[in-house]
Amino acid sequence: MSIVDELNKTFGLTDQITFLSGPAGMAVVEIENSLGCASMALQGAHLVGFQAMGEQPLIWMSDEAVFAPGKSLRGGVPVCWPWFGPHATDSSLPGHGPARTVEWKPVASSSLEDGRTSISFEMVETDATRRQCAHPLRVQLHVTVGSTLQMTLETTNLGTTPFTLGDALHTYFLVGDVRQAQVEGLDGCDYLDKVAGGKHTQQGAVTIASEVDRIYLGTGHSCAIVDPVMGRRILIRSEGSASTIVWNPWIEKTLRMGDLGPDGYLKMLCVETANAADDVVELAAGATHRLAVEYSSEAL
């Protein structure tokens, strides 16, 4: 019996959850019900698409994303864990941690009474991940697909000492034209500007007219992308998150990246739910932290 067959036997649900061999032989799971559909790669527990029934896709995925073992996918929802960005003390460790480039295993699946479908994954530890993060931790990702998309990143400290945790759901949203889109809900928040440098305070809505890479600190639990080209507002609600990252690489960086496509930057906008920089979490021994998001959209 193949791995895909074993996954379907254990966690598949008729007409709702199906495991397949995807690009480059990578295992993927398709989740579908009467309310919405989604797809995920088991490498990184990486969500690569979500669409509520009768609506436009919510998530952007690069047409030039490279599906290969150990390589992060461009687009979708990469999981950044157990740190965000460069490691605080060791620059040789992978940016955003190991979680997005290693295998995750399904641990539960269910059909909910309200028509939604739930599936949970746990990161598979290896010698490499233990070398990169020696502290004993367990991380799971719980995904619920319906007319909205819900994702919860759950970290448990299995050790006897505290652990400083950084994490993020690095979500790429599909927009009609990023130059006309705005992010609402961050007015008055301080942010660290990784392009211009320094700390600044947001005035009004966030707009994109050049490269943007900002960590907004002490943010609230809701913000929105206003997209006049696609005629919708993407609603982002969160819990257990103190930071919001807004990122678009713009033209020059896009050309250097190689897997975003020449015009990909115009169609994507990352608004990431996170605990980063000054907002990392001190996770006590035996404690569990949950970073949760819900994504939906409404017509303008």
What is the DSSP code string of the chain? Answer: --HHHHHHHHH-BTTTEEEEE-GGG-EEEEEE-SSEEEEEETBTTEEEEEEETTS---B-B-TT----TT---SBSBPEE-S-SSS-SS-TTSPTT-SGGGSBEEEEEEEE-TTS-EEEEEEEPP-HHHHHH--S-EEEEEEEEESSSEEEEEEEEE-SSS-EEE-EEE--EEE-S-TTT-EEES-TT-EEEETTT-SEEE--SSEE-SS-EEEEE-S--SEEEEEETTTTEEEEEEEES--EEEEEE-HHHHHHHHSSS-TTGGGTEEEEEEEE-GGG-EEE-TT-EEEEEEEEEEEE-
Which distant-in-sequence residues (6+ apart) come within 8 Å of 281 by Cβ? 164, 165, 166, 167, 275, 289
Catalogue the active-site residues: 170, 272
Smallest CA-to-CA distance from 101 within 62, 125, 70 is with 70
Cis peptide before 249 (omega within 30 of 0): no
